[in-house]
Amino acid sequence: MAAEIADAETADAGAVDASSGAVAPRPLRRTPLHARHVALGARMVPFAGYDMPVQYPSGILGEHNWTRDKAGLFDVSHMGQAFLIGPDHETTARALEALVPADILNLAPGRQRYSQLLNEEGGILDDLMVTRSADPDEDGALLLIVNAACKEADYAHIEQRLPENVKLIRAGHRGLIAVQGPAAAEALAALNPEVAEMSFMSARSLKLGGVQANLSRSGYTGEDGYEISAAAAKIGEIWDTLLLDARVRPVGLGARDSLRLEAGLCLYGHDIDKTTSPVEAALAWSIQKRRREEGGFPGAGRIQRELREGPQFLRVGLLPEGRAPAREGAEIATPDGEVVGKVTSGGFGPTLNGPCAMGYVASAHSAPGARLDLLVRGNRLPAVVAPMPFVPNRYKR
């Protein structure tokens, strides 16, 4: 299990006992698939307030490689799902654009876009996926998927800033799963051939084995795949049917983390947080031209300045020499000893067959090929700044 899993922040860490002042742990919540994980022999761990599978009997390495070679099935029902509802798309889009830097107004029907909730300083409160329905009868609806540990704070932040004619509707009654890997499309197409027609970051509402679901062709592994949202009472039927396919196996949080690290994808609370801007985080690609020019989102002054002049620090990929990994928190220094940054995620990349890491360094040292040292337990590990992803993405364009 990657170090990030053990250190993940829990939104519902505990409640204060008024008589003693002690913090009493709150019961862990369970996803609709919890009993299935236990029956499959999963090792369960606390994560973001939920009891979640970190691995199954095949182990993290086996699950990682299976996803790269065939299709991994993930329970991500702990993530937050909510609908933003307004009288029409323009009204809803502009309400959300007051909170995020992405161009939501020009998001086409049946398309999905990645963005960030920002504070007034341009820091990232959370990152999220935004989907516009392809159904003309749902013209004013956007589906939001946010991180599990942040979802309650996200919902409160959004609700406090919406105009009266736009509402946020929590979708806690829905489950969410992801099937990822080169065999994902064929496995899912066996339930509905329409899914094979979808392209990367497209979305549809259709039936899978008789269960109505919302699908997007996206994920968190760098592989081709889909995320599937359906009623919590029905999501297990889709899960069970997919596992009947010999190409599909369940995968836990451990391999999910090693897969996303090789893909160079951020983990909130580690690689991005309320102090980092999208530009510093190397996420400027998620801010479309109209928003860069017009602004109108929180922290626009800082972000537009960083787009023009460059940020002081920048998230980069790092490839240590040798086999020893550098974990989160390790300092990054120049060969002559000047500390210029810090590792935010790191571990061993099974597909890469070597260690890899991400971190923030002073921009003067961020060019690919720059040589740096990672300070690990008193030792200096030589490393080179490297482009991300570390393992090529295989999205269906």
pLDDT attached to residue 26? 75
The percent of residues above 70 in pLDDT, for the chain, comes to 94
pLDDT of residue 25: 66
Would the pLDDT of 113 be above 60?
A: yes
Q: What is the mean pLDDT of the chain?
A: 94
* pLDDT (mean) for 6-20: 33
Each residue's pLDDT tens digit, 115-138 = 999 999 999 999 999 999 999 999
pLDDT digits (tens, 9 = 90+) for 134-153: 999 999 999 999 999 999 99
Question: What's the pLDDT tens digit per position in 211-247?
Answer: 999 999 999 999 999 999 999 999 999 999 999 999 9
More confident residue, 5 or 233: 233
Q: What pTM did the predictor assign?
A: 0.92
3-class DSSP string for the chain: CCHHHHHCCCCCCCEECCCCCCEECCCCECCCCHHHHHHCCCEEEEECCEEEEEECCCHHHHHHHHHHHCEEEEECCCCEEEEEECCCHHHHHHHHHCCCCCCCCCCCCCEEEEEEEECCCCCEEEEEEEEECCCHHHCCEEEEEECHHHHHHHHHHHHCCCCCCCEEEECCCEEEEEEECCCHHHHHHCCCHHHHHCCCCEEEEEEECCEEEEEECCCCCCCCEEEEEEEHHHHHHHHHHHHCCCCEEECCHHHHHHHHHHCCCCCECCCECCCCCCCCCCCHHHCCHHHHHHCCCCCHHHHHHHHHHCCCEEEEEEEECCCCCCCCCCEEECCCCCEEEEEEEEEEECCCCEEEEEEEEEHHHCCCCCEEEEEECCEEEEEEEECCCCCCCCCCC
Mean pLDDT of the 17-44 span: 81
The 10s digit of each residue's pLDDT in 313-363 is 999 999 999 999 999 999 999 999 999 999 999 999 999 999 999 999 999
* Residue 24 confidence class, pLDDT cut points 50, 70, 90: low
Q: Which domains does the chain have, with CATH numbers?
A: 3-75+174-262 (3.30.1360.120), 312-397 (2.40.30.110)
pLDDT at 397: 85
